[in-house]
Structure 1
Amino acid sequence: MKYCKNQLIWLVSVVVLAGACTKDEQNVAPTDDNEAITTATLTLTNKATPTESITATIENLNTTADFSKATLNLKANTTYTGVIGLLDKTKTPVLDATEEIKEKANEHLFVYTPTPSNLLTVTLTDKDTNPSPGPYPIGLTTEIKTGAAGSGKLKVVLRHQPNAKNGTPTPGSSDLDTDFTVVVQ
């Protein structure tokens, strides 16, 4: 009797599992993963002298970051236009993550934080197409104004905010979180 009861439980389990596996399975939409970024390049152009630009690059963000080219040497009391470029060099060919962020602008927000706070001010100059109360800033392009001579850091964080972007850095997760060295002279 005990043998039959165990067989019956086993048989019912198999039937239930077999019934659950049908050919009409529904595909679940993939999750909206964070961007893979290995290289960040910040290019600043002097507004008064457009032929004068400064580029700083951080490589290997996915492993041991290389900050050897990550210093922004800027002039005091000067206004710059800024552009950030992001790459994923783990892909062949190299993926331009900047283009992906442009395509999904309604889900991304760059946050620029100088330390000390009076070293420079950053204004995001591009906007997404989110409906009201948007549009919200993106931060692929900026205007950066330096103050008096000094040095510090510029933290750059890219927030990934699918279905949650509200113009603040709070919702979402970070695709990028790195620091550029800033020297204002």
Structure 2
Amino acid sequence: MQPVQKSSLLFLLAVGLLAGACKKDEQNVDPTDDNEAITTATLSLTNTASATDVVTGTIENLNTSATFTNATLNLKANTTYNGSITLLDKTKTPTVDATEEIREKTNEHLFVYMYMPTGTTTSTMSVTLTDRDTNPAPGPYPVGLTTRMQTGATAGSGSMHVVLRHQPNSKDGTATPGSSDLDTSFPVVIK
């Protein structure tokens, strides 16, 4: 083989190998949208009849060994509260406000709140999500960063179970699709 033909053949072989390698690199892989890292959850409830009557519960060390020291929500019976939840990731320096990230991605998140009375108590509490995302029809769907909570007339105790569903490309207004970023309960006393 002549030197010119040999170098041309090597050049064509190299181009063929590179072209084959490029095709493999060009395969699109669906990006993963990792769950939010949350270490601290604070639920704040403001009595709609008295703006100075604010009840706050905070749970620390979520996803490790949760600390419930200041988590109990002491509420009044037959009262309406405007609620908001704040979530932090204290594993990062400085601390990351996960609430902001959820606010930026409301189309991918849904909070689920459920009051569960303890034992035979008949106390009740209803929760309405008051904020909405920007998903197109049949949306928009609720989010749950803000809420309205109404306690029943009967005193009692229980817990407010709070779950944050992470639903990229699958949010439909229900808790079913996705995975959980947060799953915790705040102790509740209704007086």
User: Does TM-score exceed 0.5, indicating one fold?
Assistant: yes
Question: Is the contact between residue 123 and residue 156 of structure 2 (CA under 8 Å) also seen in structure 1?
Answer: no
Instruction: Deviation per CA, 1:58-114: give whole Å up to 9, x if none.
Output: 000021100111100000000000000000000111000000000000000000010
2:114 maps to 113
Question: Is the contact between residue 44 and residue 83 of structure 1 (CA under 8 Å) also seen in structure 2?
Answer: yes
Question: Is the contact between residue 113 and residue 161 of structure 2 (CA under 8 Å) also seen in structure 1?
Answer: yes
Name the CA shift for 1:92/1:107 in 2 (closer, same or farther; >3 Å): same
List structure 1 segments (4+ residues) > 6 angstroms apart after TM superposition: none
Normalising by the residue count of structure 1, what TM-score does the alignment of the two structures yield?
0.86
Question: Is the contact between residue 119 and residue 152 of structure 1 (CA under 8 Å) also seen in structure 2?
Answer: no
1:168 aligns with 2:174: yes
The equivalences for 1:58-97 within 5 A come to 58-97=59-98
Alpha-carbon distance in structure 1 between the residues aligned to 2:150 and 2:79: 6
1:25 aligns with 2:25: yes
The equivalences for 1:1-185 within 5 A come to 21=21, 25-26=25-26, 28=29, 30-116=31-117, 119-147=124-152, 148-185=154-191
Which sits farther off after the overlay, 116-125 or 160-169?
116-125
In structure 1, stretches of 5+ residues that fail to align are 1-17
Aligned pair count reads: 169
Alpha-carbon distance in structure 1 between the residues aligned to 2:149 and 2:98: 23
Alpha-carbon distance in structure 1 between the residues aligned to 2:75 and 2:177: 32
In structure 2, stretches of 5+ residues that fail to align are 1-16
Q: Secondary structure at the match of 1:101?
A: helix
Among the aligned pairs, what percent are the same residue?
68
Q: Secondary structure at the match of 1:42?
A: strand
Instruction: Deviation per CA, 1:115-151: give whole Å up to 9, x if none.
Output: 1385200000000000000000000000000012110
Instruction: Deviation per CA, 1:25-53: give whole Å up to 9, x if none.
Output: 34745310000000000000000001110
Normalising by the residue count of structure 2, what TM-score does the alignment of the two structures yield?
0.83
Question: Is the contact between residue 123 and residue 155 of structure 2 (CA under 8 Å) also seen in structure 1?
Answer: no
Alpha-carbon distance in structure 1 between the residues aligned to 2:42 and 2:80: 19
